[in-house]
Amino acid sequence: MPRSSQERIFILGAGLAGLSCAYHLGTAFNLCEARAWPGGLCTTTEEEGFRFDKTGHLLHLRTDEMKELVNDLLEEDLLSIERRSRIFSSGVLTKYPFQANTFGLPPTVARECLMGFLEAHFGEKKKKIKNFEDFILSHFGPGIARHFMIPYNSRLWGVHPGEITAEWCSRFVPIPSLEEVVSGAVGYQDRELGYNATFLYPRKGIGALPNALAQRVPQTRYRSRVKAIDWKKKRVFCGRDVYEYEALVSTMPLDRLISVMDRPPAVVLNQAAKLKCNSLRYLDIALKKKPGLDLHWIYVPEERFPFYRVGCYSNFSKDLAPRGKGSLYVELASRKKMRRDRLMPKVIAGLKEIGLIRGPGDIVFSRMRKMDHAYVVYDHNYYATTKKLNSFLAENNIFSIGRYGRWEYSAMEDALLQGKETALKLQEIL
């Protein structure tokens, strides 16, 4: 017999989007989570007194409603932080973003970047922007493209920017003014640029946020993994339980949602096969001492390094490491499984060159981690594919939300907002 079939809404997944949806609904839902804890990728684990998130999970809140919710959930445990980030290239550290801070680079590199920007800025905009590479060259010129934007983004996304559309990036890629670029070339940049110039962060790790929200949704059922979805009869099979629903809210990655649906149309399966994302392998590293640089994260565009970004957990909050010690996350450029005995010497050498550690003796332990879904790839099939899939889901009262449910590059605030917006919509239509 179906369990709790009187509840009209079924929510799949207790990440931020699912918890937010449940919280704003209040009643009349079932919420099931495959793991034994909430948060999805927004979690914090502890080992030997060190706390590790799943790489950098920082709160960039733009809306008053989400600021109010997060402050209500975390209260005095929320830190307000001004970003300290740098780029390591050409053997030096320069300010972020690269395109507005060429001061400090070797003179030949700085000149190439500045002249290329001026040529792009004052040149005739004849070429139509067809992809992210065109966007980079059009806005920043060939020097900035060659020394940072092309190599860094190739390492981040796992594909060349020419294979990615430019429609996603206006919010996340700072486009400085002429004055800002010139000021940054002579070391006269008087403010931080970009959407993440300031951020909020819980004292004991980002996992505090979903944990606090989960306390407001005590009816969540954990260790309840979805086995199948009968989308025609509107039933979800989780473990030994069967749930009927009128509307289904899924926060599973979109490709996985389609894979557990019972015999979807061939056209839907064909579209789902076109979805692309890359995984991420990264290292959590515990240090005997604080990192050698008082920075939050560092971008590394050059291919000679095995990583493209390094973050300093313990510089977000002193409570993430034992007193006097530190911790890092190291995001690896290769998506392939690697032998640690070959990888670690290269990682250690890179961290030492940048100035974060003195050598292998600084490391207490390191742990290799993997995210199967890290960055959704906005290839040239992206918009047509996701539009068709979302149309099919909407026709069957299925709402796919969250970073991977929506299949998008977005922030934690977006997941919280999508949960609330979906709850309000369901209250209207059911």
End-to-end Cα separation, the chain, in angstroms:
23
Does the pLDDT at position 4 exceed 50?
no
Confidence of residue 188 (pLDDT cuts 50, 70, 90): confident
Q: What is the mean pLDDT of residues 200-217?
A: 97
Domain ranges of the chain: 9-43+207-276+378-429, 45-58+77-83+196-204+278-376, 105-184
Q: What is the mean pLDDT of residues 157-177?
A: 88
Instruction: State the pLDDT at residue 126.
Output: 66
Do the beta carbons of residue 373 and residue 402 sit within 8 Å? Answer: no
Q: List, for residues 219-253, the tens digit of each pLDDT value.
A: 999 999 999 999 999 999 998 899 999 999 999 99
Does the pLDDT at position 19 exceed 80?
yes
Instruction: State the pLDDT at residue 1.
Output: 42
Confidence of residue 419 (pLDDT cuts 50, 70, 90): very high
Does the pLDDT at position 330 exceed 80?
yes
What is the fold of 105-184?
Answer: protoporphyrinogen ix oxidase, domain 3 (1.10.3110)
What is the chain's Cα-based Rg? 23
Quote the mean pLDDT of the chain.
94
Confidence of residue 170 (pLDDT cuts 50, 70, 90): confident
Closest CA to 275 of 248, 244, 252: 252
Q: What is the mean pLDDT of residues 44-65?
A: 96
Instruction: State the pLDDT at residue 61.
Output: 93
Do the beta carbons of residue 201 and residue 209 sit within 8 Å? Answer: no
Q: Please tell me what DSSP assigns to residue 99.
A: G
Instruction: State the pLDDT at residue 239.
Output: 83
Q: Considering the domain 45-58+77-83+196-204+278-376, what is its CATH architecture?
A: Alpha-Beta Complex (3.90)
Do the beta carbons of residue 286 and residue 271 sit within 8 Å? Answer: no
Q: Kindly report the backbone phi and psi dihedral angles of residue 189, in degrees, each rounded to the nearest multiple of 5, phi listed first.
A: -85, 115
Instruction: State the pLDDT at residue 168.
Output: 82
| Of 70 and 170, more confident | 70
Confidence of residue 6 (pLDDT cuts 50, 70, 90): low
Does the pLDDT at position 212 exceed 90?
yes
Q: List, for residues 384-411, the tens digit of each pLDDT value.
A: 999 999 999 999 999 999 999 999 999 9
Instruction: State the pLDDT at residue 123.
Output: 85
Instruction: State the pLDDT at residue 3.
Output: 52
Closest CA to 402 of 391, 387, 413: 413
Q: Considering the domain 9-43+207-276+378-429, what is its CATH architecture?
A: 3-Layer(bba) Sandwich (3.50)
Does the pLDDT at position 200 exceed 60?
yes
Q: Is the dihedral of CA 134, 140, 146, 148 positive or negative?
A: negative
Does the pLDDT at position 2 exceed 60?
no
Helix (H, G, I), strand (E, B) or coil at 52: strand
Helix (H, G, I), strand (E, B) or coil at 351: helix
Q: What is the mean pLDDT of residues 338-363?
A: 96
Instruction: State the pLDDT at residue 173.
Output: 86
The answer to pTM > 0.85 is yes
Could you give the CA distance from residue 360 to residue 366 in angstroms, rounded to a whole number? 11
